[in-house]
Amino acid sequence: MNKIILILIVLISSCTTSVKTEETKNEQNTQAKFKLAKSDYTILTYTPQWHWTFNNVKPSQLQESELIEIEEILKSAIQKHNQTQKNQLIEHNKNNPDDTITQTYYEVQLQGYMRQYVPVINNKNQKEVFINFFCDATDEKNWQTELVQIEDGGNCYYNVKINLVTKEYYEFEVNYSI
């Protein structure tokens, strides 16, 4: 009888260990894919004072796996935005041969920016995220708790909204000069 109990204990503990090991491996794989340093981003809780970001929403949270999804959507959004900027530059130079320019000043990159993520649940019960990008936090002392707002600034400041249910982005905006 004691042998049977001992065998059952060994079997149960080995099953539990393998499940925990698998969960740990999955968690490590997820973290390994999201490469942004924690010091370069913050996740802010939505407040109604930020009405220009969203209306009629509830604050939400972000999971590590969702940050990875966001990265993939951002890559596509930035590629499309930059191609549009290049096309507009070509068109401008074609239509203004006496006033050609060599750069758009509104192309952006994924790396080299600080980020603020503001996750919410919209009125369709879908998770959306407002992502605010800016070049440097030295002038923004409270950037990890307060949403950074800048007028103009060119490609040093941009933001975008992403719907994590539909996997679509919208309102991709670079802070153009006023």
Average of pLDDT values for 170-176?
88
Q: Are residues 117 and 41 in the same domain?
A: yes
31-37, Cβ contacts within 8 angstroms, sequence gap of 24 or more: 31/64, 33/68, 34/64, 34/67, 34/68, 34/71, 36/67, 36/71, 36/115
Q: Are residues 126 and 165 in the same domain?
A: yes
Confidence (pTM): 0.77
- Nearest-angstrom CA–CA distance, 33 and 74: 15
- 48-68 pLDDT per residue, tens: 999 889 999 999 999 999 999
Average of pLDDT values for 165-169?
97
Q: Are residues 50 and 19 in the same domain?
A: no
Whole-number pLDDT of residue 24: 47
Average of pLDDT values for 105-109?
85
Q: Of 24-28, 57-61, 111-115, 127-131, which range is least confident?
A: 24-28
Whole-number pLDDT of residue 177: 46
Could you tell me the residue range of the domain that residue 108 belongs to? 36-175
**Higher-scoring residue by pLDDT: 22, 81:** 81
Q: Are residues 123 and 102 in the same domain?
A: yes
Model confidence at 9, pLDDT cuts 50, 70, 90, reads: low
Q: Are residues 68 and 95 in the same domain?
A: yes
Burial class (CB in 10 A: 0-12, 13-18, 19+), 120: buried
Q: Are residues 14 and 59 in the same domain?
A: no
Q: Are residues 109 and 141 in the same domain?
A: yes
Structural domain count, the chain: 2
Residue 155 contacts residue 105 (beta carbons within 8 Å):
yes
Q: Are residues 10 and 27 in the same domain?
A: yes
Average of pLDDT values for 111-118?
94
Q: Are residues 1 and 51 in the same domain?
A: no
- 135-159 pLDDT per residue, tens: 876 666 789 999 988 776 778 889 9
Task: Indicate the pairing of strand 114-121 with strand 41-43.
Answer: parallel
Average of pLDDT values for 16-30?
46
Q: Are residues 15 and 45 in the same domain?
A: no
pLDDT at 79 over 60: yes
DSSP codes, 33-84: H----GGGEEEPPP-GGGTTT-SS-EE----HHHHHHHHHHHHHHHHHHHHH
Q: Are residues 109 and 169 in the same domain?
A: yes
